[in-house]
Structure 1
Amino acid sequence: MYPAKNGDAFLVDAGGTYLLIDAGFATTYQDFIAADLAQLAKRGARLNLVVCTHIDADHIGGLLEFFSQNGTPAKRGIEVDAVWHNSLRSLPAPTAGPDSIYDGVVLEAIRRRGFPRPPTSSPNPISARQGSSLASLLRQHSYTWNSGNGSKCISEGYMHTLPGDVSLHVIGPTTARLEDLRSLWLSEVKKLGYKGSSQPSDLIDDAYEMWCASMPDRSNPQATPIAASGNLRLAEVYTPDTSIPNGSSITFIVSAGNKRVLFLGDAWAEDVVAKLRSFHTPTTPLIFDAIKVSHHGSLHNTSVDLLSVADSPRFLISSDGTRHGHPDFEVLAEIVDRPAPFTRHLFFNYETAATKRLELHTSRSGTAFSVHVAKNDWIQLGKVNND
């Protein structure tokens, strides 16, 4: 779990089968991920799958940097077998004529605006080089994208098998969530004068992803301020996420041998609950070997209902606390307060106010738990030394 500021970046080693899931900002890739991938390539390893969970700057930025630097098919820095990424091209578009010249001017203006810079006070020359969308890079560099050329989306129910007895079961998003994001984008660019039909093109790819990555969480409810001495429970403060980009997150279960890990991106809790309940009796929770907590531990993406259908001895929370104060303490407390026949270990990639407070917390049920700050270290899912 790389230090990705307020973003996500995960490298998974499933017995020699490797998955890169998001890559934080461009600086996350440059400062941390690039060296690890170079070592893998030197050993003859490859990335069996790269996943961009959704188009948000703190998830996609490092992937843009990676794919812009990884070379051509004739000479890759590291081989990549498959990429998952839902862009506008991945959704079926109505048949229509090409955009007008004026439509092209509107889209070009969005393209020139580019992707947002990472949260830093100084200019970032790495981020400034990101002038193409991930969709454009995947096409230009001939990657296998969404099991083909990117014209199909990765959505709930999709199954994928990788070498070494590794499989992935996609539990979200629904196609409807992806269509919602397209509709939101179209409504926003129409305000700028765009009247086209968003037929697939490199310019459309660029404008769509750059706009989505820059989209503020305007529809997301504001967190209720909690005093440092407050003692409210998650059920008292939880309000569902309504951010359409977050709702488009690719969420999935990775199974390797007898291990299962649930990766939730920034998904809505209600969507995850509905899917997990569709194939499991709700009387007892599904137990995973690890759960990557949705949206950096936001109280809008982990509900009491979600924690009743999914549990684990390991929870992974990725955030430095610089955006919206994530993770929210109410989520962390609810995770450890529930009774369980096992000790829960919570892994963070940064020390934050919430992690410090959690270290002083006593579980309401008496269930044991521990707090770990894993700075660029492997988190083992086999026998773990938790000292």
Structure 2
Amino acid sequence: MFRVRAFQVAHGDSLLVSYGRDDRPYHLLVDGGPSRSWSTLRPLLKSALVGERLRLEALVVTHYDRDHIQGVIELLEHIPDWLEIGEVWFNGYHHLSPSDLLGPREGDTLTQLIRRYGLSWNTSFRNQKNGQNGAAILQSSNAVSLPGGLEVSVLSPDQDGLTALGRHWTDPTSPPVDSESAPNDLLGPRDEWPPKRFNLNGGSDFVSDTSIPNRSSIALLLTFDSKRVLLAADAFADVIKRGLAISLPGKEPIDLLKVSHHGSKGNTNKSLLDGLGCKRFLISTSGEIHKHPDHALIERLVARYDNPEIFFNYSQDWPGNWKVRPANWPDFQTRYPQEGEQFVDVLL
């Protein structure tokens, strides 16, 4: 069994990756959505209990944007007695500059919670110089092997992305305010329904996201039972492409892409998609605030005319519009949560 479950956490991301035997799966939780997401996540995680326990082999916080991290903070502030966290993967302030390693002034909320509960932090990325404390999570050719046989490769961030975040994150007690939308993406809310006539190039030239927190996103390539999943967080297309060249030089096809930045047109370009060989795409957003996914992004996903599947974790409002294929557009299939469910599943 290899499954990605995208929870309904408004405009944010929260993914439960499950793999292994059906009766004894292993789990990886990636992000927790914006504030007030814990009331949704708690019962959904509890439904995955095996023997009255749920173990997360890793809890991944891809970056410090509110729509990814606040639900994790809520989880750690109210850890239920049935939840076990094997390891936290998160690039904190002290990972940005070696001179500030474990500096006493570092006091952002997530760091305080990780240390309060003595959670294992980035230990899969440990090296001799930092002993028990894990190193920064960075693009690398070295895969991490998790219990149960999941291989994890880091595609983003690269060193330049962490360095840029270090220049931006100047107060160790307070992370920088995130940019909810990159400047070029502000045009997204101008999309209207129905879309204009299909444009092979996505309606306009690609202009990349410029958000520094997004540039530092942890994007992962997961491999299990010869299936490959790319979880792109809010990462940049060019960084992911370079990461794939390092971690997947054979250019084997990707079986599922969790599309970057909730379907923003500034984070996924044709060049990246052409190299993936992927026909299944997952978009995590309710569409509120920014009306993601952008029309241009969907155009890029379907431009190969190979009838792809697009999974949405919300079936109403802006994402729900795609239940009906616009006139003159190539064929594609849409998948939504089953009635009454607060998530959508993708089975690999």
Instruction: Please tell me the TM-score bracket, short chain as reference.
Output: 0.7 to 0.9
Residue 135 in structure 1 maps to residue 111 in structure 2? yes
Q: Is contact 1:172–1:250 with CA below 8 Å preserved after alignment?
A: yes
Specify the SS of the correspondent of 2:196: coil
Q: Deviations over 1:334-373 (max 9, x none)?
A: 2123133xx4211101234354146223675x5x421122
Specify the SS of the correspondent of 2:179: coil
* CA distance in 1: counterparts of 2:113 and 2:323, whole angstroms: 42
Residue 56 in structure 1 maps to residue 56 in structure 2? no
Identify the residue that residue 178 of structure 2 maps to in structure 1.
Answer: 215
Q: Deviations over 1:132-179 (max 9, x none)?
A: 611111111011100065552111115211122111011110122112
Residue 264 in structure 1 maps to residue 232 in structure 2? yes
Which residue of the other structure, out of 295, 299, 313, is the alignment partner of 2:279? 313
Residue 156 in structure 1 maps to residue 139 in structure 2? yes
How far residue 258 of structure 1 moved from its aligned partner, in angstroms, is: 1.7
Q: Is contact 1:48–1:80 with CA below 8 Å preserved after alignment?
A: yes
Identify the residue that residue 3 of structure 2 maps to in structure 1.
Answer: none
The residue identity in structure 2 corresponding to 1:323 is I
Identify the residue that residue 220 of structure 2 maps to in structure 1.
Answer: 252
Aligned residues: 321
Identify the residue that residue 270 of structure 2 maps to in structure 1.
Answer: 304
Identify the residue that residue 167 of structure 2 maps to in structure 1.
Answer: 183
**TM-score calculated relative to the size of structure 2:** 0.82
**TM-score calculated relative to the size of structure 1:** 0.75
Alignment map for 1:222-241 (pairs within 5 Å) = 222-223=186-187, 225-226=190-191, 228=193, 229-231=195-197, 232=199, 233-234=201-202, 236-241=204-209
RMSD of the alignment, in Å? Answer: 2.8
Which residue of the other structure, out of 165, 168, 181, is the alignment partner of 2:152? 168
The residue identity in structure 2 corresponding to 1:369 is F
Identify the residue that residue 289 of structure 2 maps to in structure 1.
Answer: 323
* CA distance in 2: counterparts of 1:363 and 1:336, whole angstroms: 12
* CA distance in 2: counterparts of 1:24 and 1:321, whole angstroms: 14
Which residue of the other structure, out of 327, 332, 335, is the alignment partner of 1:372? 335
How far residue 277 of structure 1 moved from its aligned partner, in angstroms, is: 3.4
Which residue of the other structure, out of 83, 87, 96, is the alignment partner of 2:88? 83
Identify the residue that residue 326 of structure 2 maps to in structure 1.
Answer: 361
The structure with the largest alpha-carbon Rg is: 1
The residue identity in structure 2 corresponding to 1:162 is L
Which residue of the other structure, out of 257, 276, 285, is the alignment partner of 1:291? 257
Q: 1:298 to 1:254 in 2, by over 3 A?
A: same
* CA distance in 2: counterparts of 1:10 and 1:161, whole angstroms: 19
Q: Is contact 2:311–2:344 with CA below 8 Å preserved after alignment?
A: no
- The answer to which structure has the higher helix fraction is 1
How far residue 378 of structure 1 moved from its aligned partner, in angstroms, is: 5.1
* CA distance in 1: counterparts of 2:64 and 2:97, whole angstroms: 18
Q: Is contact 1:161–1:167 with CA below 8 Å preserved after alignment?
A: yes
Specify the SS of the correspondent of 1:79: strand
Which residue of the other structure, out of 5, 22, 38, is the alignment partner of 1:29? 38
Specify the SS of the correspondent of 2:10: coil
Identify the residue that residue 349 of structure 1 maps to in structure 2.
Answer: 313
Specify the SS of the correspondent of 1:12: strand
* CA distance in 2: counterparts of 1:66 and 1:172, whole angstroms: 25
Specify the SS of the correspondent of 2:183: coil
- Consecutive aligned runs of 4 or more in structure 1 exceeding 6 Å deviation: none
How far residue 295 of structure 1 moved from its aligned partner, in angstroms, is: 0.1
* CA distance in 1: counterparts of 2:260 and 2:100, whole angstroms: 36
